[in-house]
Amino acid sequence: MGLGTSMKETTLHYYRDPLVETLSEDEDVNLRGIVIVGSPDKNEDKYLSAERVGASLECMRVDGAVFSCNGLGNNHVDYAHSMEAAETRGIPVVALSLCPAADFVVQNKYMDGVICYYKALNEGRQAGDETTVLAQNTVTETDARKALAMLKLKMRKKEKEG
């Protein structure tokens, strides 16, 4: 199981990324930027990378963040820890993933906002099963709108508690 044809994000997808477009067009949201992080091989580097994501978001003084991960398995170690690094700093996070949070190789209490965007699940497949349809399982505008709505709810909840 690896990233196959249906999970590849095309150049056109990057130029017209539905997540970026949705966040930048919403009048309630001030899109501060995009942080691109690789997935290191060594565990200690994964945790260092994740902590830097949390610290970067804190330094940018963001009110919330949407994470998106293009991968499965090993990538979820630093991805899940990045969520934790942001949430422990008081930054609400919503995450988009190919598989449900329950299927991550690591778990933590901050993974309540994971939205699975794997379309082939509707066809009786499991996340990670290849369908060979180019870009069938990438983030769509609907997925982006779900993430934005969930983020707004988490930010509102934090504001009421705060």
What's residue 1's pLDDT?
Answer: 44
Whether residue 128 is predicted with pLDDT greater than 70 in this model: the reply is no
5-156 is classed CATH 3.40.30: no
Query: Exposed (0-12), middle (13-18) or buried (19+): which is 82, by Cβ within 10 Å?
Result: buried
On the CB side of 137, CA atoms within 13 Å amount to 31
Q: pLDDT averaged over the chain?
A: 87
Place of tokens 């930010």: 155
For the segment 79-96, the average pLDDT, to the nearest whole number, is 95
d(CA 117, CA 100): 9
Q: Which residues, listed in sequence order, are joined to residue 95 by a DSSP beta bridge?
A: 67, 114
Confidence (pTM) = 0.86
For the segment 126-150, the average pLDDT, to the nearest whole number, is 83
On the CB side of 11, CA atoms within 13 Å amount to 0
Task: Read off the tokens for 63.
Answer: 């009110």
d(CA 141, CA 152): 16
Place of tokens 């709505």: 149
- CB atoms under 10 Å from CB of 111, counted, come to 21
